[in-house]
Amino acid sequence: MRTEGEIATNTDPAGPWSLVVPLKPLARAKSRLGQAAGEAARPRLALAFAQDTVAAALACARVRDVVVVTDDAVAAAALSALGARIVPDAPGAGLNAALAHGARSVRAVRPAAVAALNADLPALRTGELARVLDFASGFPSAFLRDATGIGTTFLAAVSGAEFRPSFGGPSGSRHLASGAVEIALSGVDSVRRDVDTAEDLRVALALGVGPHTARIAAVPAPVPDR
């Protein structure tokens, strides 16, 4: 594990990054938020999370472009309008296949440094993302655990390094076992805070979410009939 203040083994900066953001069809996204937010708001929240994530990423000076892998037409239109490039999920074989496909689409154009970034980081801060990317540039591959310490919200591979995503469940341990260096930075809570549950959303709102999520979250969830 590399900690803040250590000297990187690779002192050659990776240069601008391409980020790959996966997004499943909105109708199936964020199922655990349905009861808390209401079924009507659930897909709207999923899209808002992605919009705030992509907008913050594109505003980061370390980021050259953002590729969103999705087959959802509504999400594709909204995220393309922000400046993301949309890549259809041609493999249709789950999250990791989608991420690998997105990375290949980037590297087919140029030998880029690529990083996978979760689509549900509505509190993402541009400066915190820049620190994570700077840290990651010192190693062939690096990853950041989520707020629980179990999953992963970010996985990077510099130019020329193999990109091997293994997201889902206890992915932090799998990424560590793959040889990726764990990023141990303090003060990057917004890059760790993905949102799957009502409690996750509460914490993200306390951190300060982007405008798209703030607008949707401000609408009270309907009270179920008794």
What pLDDT sits at residue 2? Answer: 29
Distances (CA, A) of 150 to 12, 144, 147, 192, 206: 30, 10, 8, 11, 22
Contact 164, 141 (CB under 8 A): yes
Residue 9 pLDDT: 33
Tokens of 9: 């083994």
User: What is residue 192's predicted lDDT score, i.e. its pLDDT?
Assistant: 98
Residue 32's pLDDT is: 84
* CB atoms closer than 10 angstroms to residue 32: 13
Q: What pLDDT is stored for residue 199 in this prediction?
A: 94
pLDDT string in tens for the chain (226-residue length): 323 333 233 333 435 899 999 999 999 888 888 776 677 889 999 999 999 999 999 999 999 999 999 999 999 999 999 999 999 999 999 999 999 999 999 999 999 999 999 999 999 999 999 999 999 999 999 999 999 999 999 999 999 999 999 999 999 999 999 999 999 999 999 999 999 999 999 999 999 999 999 999 876 554 444 4
Q: What does the CA dihedral 213, 215, 217, 220 come to, rounded to 10 degrees?
A: -170
| Residues in a beta bridge with 157 | 114, 141
pLDDT score at 219: 65
Q: What is the pLDDT of residue 129?
A: 98
Specify whether the CB–CB gap between 117 and 68 falls below 8 A. no
pTM of the model: 0.89
Neighbours of 25 (CB within 10 A): 15
Q: What is the 3-state secondary structure (H, E, C) of the chain?
A: CEECCCCCCCCCCCCCEEEEEECCCHHHCCHHHHHHHCCCHHHHHHHHHHHHHHHHHHCCCCEEEEEEECCCHHHHHHHHHHCCEEECCCCCCCHHHHHHHHHHHHHCCCCCEEEEECCCCCCCCHHHHHHHHHHHCCCCEEEEECCCCCCEEEEEECCCCCCCCCCCCCHHHHHHHCCCEEEECCCCHHHHCCCCCHHHHHHHHHHCCCHHHHHHHCCCCCCCCC
